[in-house]
């Protein structure tokens, strides 16, 4: 039987009980439709995961008994930071979700000159909250015990100046390939453009900040394809896909 997994920000201690917060309580009760005495696995990004059984499931509250800790980890030795040019609707959602499944550690949505998405009023925090939910559910589904960090929406020029490790941006017209590069400290930063790609000025910003233009094959990839291809490639070369 498949046991549902759920992220919680709460402290998890073997032998104690946990009262679920409102969102998680609703999810357990209404979406998963779990009942009293059924098992559930919880994790809180502090390492490992905890097997629990549900002690109460009702409209007022959801409570679980924390039975035992499993020190499992599925994290890659490669630390990956992703700067992702914001694309429209489902494309961005899909890229965020699959990036988490592929082992990304940090994601920053980036505003670029060719970004077609405009944020007015309180749209920025709303979208960030939406993407945070996607990150959480992707981590739960993929068996991760660490929730990737989602950074606030940033401008590309500010973002490139504050990155570390082997810094790469995808450019279909570059001459360099990934196979000729290697991170010194198992840290890689990937910069992926939006629909329409980077402008010449943005490429100059990135290169001035130490980013290396890299080509992934001979074909031009859509933004959501490019991010997943790059993540898979670096995991194969230096991470846990080998």
Q: What pLDDT score was predicted for residue 118?
A: 76
Considering Cα of 103, then 108, then 112, then 116, what sign does the dihedral take? positive
pLDDT tens digits, 4-24: 999 999 999 999 999 999 899
- 0.75 exceeded by the pTM? yes
* Per-residue tens of pLDDT for the chain, all 242 residues: 689 999 999 999 999 999 999 899 999 999 999 999 999 999 999 989 999 999 999 999 999 999 999 998 999 999 999 999 998 878 899 999 999 999 999 999 999 888 777 777 778 889 999 999 999 999 999 999 999 999 999 999 999 999 999 999 998 888 898 988 999 899 999 999 888 888 999 999 999 999 999 998 888 888 888 999 999 999 999 999 97
Name 21's Cβ contacts closer than 8 Å, sequence gap at least 6. 8, 9, 10
Note down the domain range covering 65: 5-70
d(CA 166, CA 188): 5
The domain boundary, picked from 21, 42, 70, lies at 70
What are the residues facing 79 on neighbouring strands? 187
* Together in a domain, 141 and 223: yes
* Together in a domain, 173 and 53: no
* Together in a domain, 28 and 140: no
* Together in a domain, 154 and 50: no
* Together in a domain, 179 and 134: yes
Q: What pLDDT score was predicted for residue 125?
A: 87
pLDDT tens digits, 97-138: 999 999 999 999 999 888 777 777 778 889 999 999 999 999
* Together in a domain, 66 and 87: no
* Together in a domain, 36 and 145: no
d(CA 229, CA 105): 16
Our count of domains for the chain comes to: 2
């Amino acid at each position: 039987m498949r046991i549902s997994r759920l992220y919680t920000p709460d402290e998890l201690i073997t032998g104690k009980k946990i009262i679920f917060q409102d969102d998680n309580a609703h999810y357990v009760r209404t979406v998963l439709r779990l009942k009293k005495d059924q098992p559930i696995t919880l994790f809180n990004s502090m390492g490992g995961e905890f097997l629990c059984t549900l002690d109460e499931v009702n409209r007022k509250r959801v409570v679980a008994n924390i039975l035992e800790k499993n020190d499992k980890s599925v994290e890659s030795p490669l630390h990956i930071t992703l700067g992702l040019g914001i694309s429209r609707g489902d494309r961005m959602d899909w890229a965020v979700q699959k990036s988490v499944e592929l082992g990304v550690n940090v994601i920053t949505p980036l505003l670029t000159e060719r970004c077609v998405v405009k944020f007015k009023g309180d749209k920025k925090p709303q979208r960030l909250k939406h993407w945070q939910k996607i990150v959480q559910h992707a981590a739960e589904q993929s068996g991760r015990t660490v929730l990737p960090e989602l950074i606030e929406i940033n401008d590309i020029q500010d973002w490139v100046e504050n990155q570390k490790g082997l810094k790469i941006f995808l450019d279909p017209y570059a001459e360099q390939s990934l196979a000729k590069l290697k991170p010194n400290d198992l840290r890689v930063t990937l910069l992926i453009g939006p629909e329409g790609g980077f402008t010449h000025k943005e490429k100059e910003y990135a290169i001035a900040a130490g980013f290396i233009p890299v080509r992934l094959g001979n074909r031009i990839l859509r933004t959501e394809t490019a991010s997943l291809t790059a993540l898979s490639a670096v995991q194969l070369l230096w991470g846990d896909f080998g």
